[in-house]
Homo-oligomer: A and B are copies of this chain.
Amino acid sequence: MYLRSLLDMAETRGAITVSSDELARLAGVNAAKVRKDLSYLGSYGTRGVGYDIEYLLYQITRELGLTQDWPTALIGIGNLGRALASYKGFSERGFRIAALFDVDDDVIGQQVGGLTVRHLDELKESVNEDGLSIGIIATPPSAAQEAAEKLVDAGVKSILNFAPSVVNVSPDVNIRKVDLSIELQILSFYEQRTQAIAAAREANRRLEIKHRPPR
């Protein structure tokens, strides 16, 4: 989040430095947290002045591993896979979708976002050729476990999973999930809660009016 705020700032404003206070506002967190977080990277601020934007950008970029390019494999070239494959926002931050895989013969061979979809069986050689280090799973949930295993087997130890299913991997593999249904469920939970409270308050109000003794 800091990285993004700093990039925005570097683009739009001409400022050289930024204070923890300002960065906190932009990132939507507490200023002390900004300072503590940044202190883990080292002492890159100057008291009485703030942080040098360019320098901080470089340090965060370096720490996140974004100074190098991360060739990424995408498995499952359906609706979501296509959107991801043709998304330019990733390459801006050093993530290059470098190879596409599917198992459907109708999909294999197609050109998507400048790449040819290959069969999942070719994953292993592609990992060796292209140095793929990250895998994205956009298959149906039932195929997610298999896709993860093929990735791990091919040597990919970092996986982002879009399929709404639990995928088990060995502990040395880093797997993260993006689950849109869960996000919506969290929203509906709070929405229902506030609706329920509003309804209760309304019912209460009516009851009070009804039973209020005449003045």
- Copies of this protein in the assembly total 2
Q: With a CB–CB cut-off of 8 A, which chain B residues contact A133? A: 191
**Residue contact B174 to A160, C-beta cutoff 8 Å:** no
Report the Cα distance A1→B186, complex, angstroms.
Answer: 11
Inter-chain contacts of A86 with B (CB < 8 A): 79
Are the C-beta atoms of A176 and B166 separated by less than 8 Å? Answer: no
Residues of B within 8 Å of A103, CB to CB, are none
Judge if A115 is at the interface, Cβ distance under 8 Å.
no
- The residue in chain B whose Cβ has the minimal distance to the Cβ of A138 is B83
Chain B: which residue is nearest A192 at the CB level?
B65
Contacts of A165 in B (CB 8 A): 4, 8
Give A49 Cβ to nearest chain B Cβ, in Å: 24
How many residues in A have their beta carbons less than 8 Å from beta carbons of B? 56
Q: How far is the CB of A33 from chain B (nearest CB, A)?
A: 15
Which A residues, 127 to 185, have Cβ-Cβ distances below 8 Å to chain B? 133-134, 157-160, 164-166, 168, 172, 174, 176, 178, 180-185
Which B residues are CB-close (under 8 A) to A158?
Answer: 187-188, 190-191
Cα A78 to Cα B204 with chains together (Å)? 46
B166→A4 contact, CB < 8 A:
yes
Q: Is A64 an interface residue (CB 8 A)?
A: yes
Residues of B within 8 A of A90 (CB): 180-181, 184
Among the listed B27, B159, B188, which residue makes an inter-chain contact with A64, where contact means beta carbons less than 8 Å apart?
B188
Choose among B134, B186, B191, B192 the residue that contacts A191 (Cβ–Cβ < 8 A): B134
Starting from the known contacts A68-B192, A176-B183, A176-B186, 8 additional A-B residue pairs (CB-CB under 8 Å) come to A1-B166, A79-B87, A93-B181, A95-B181, A133-B191, A159-B187, A172-B194, A178-B180
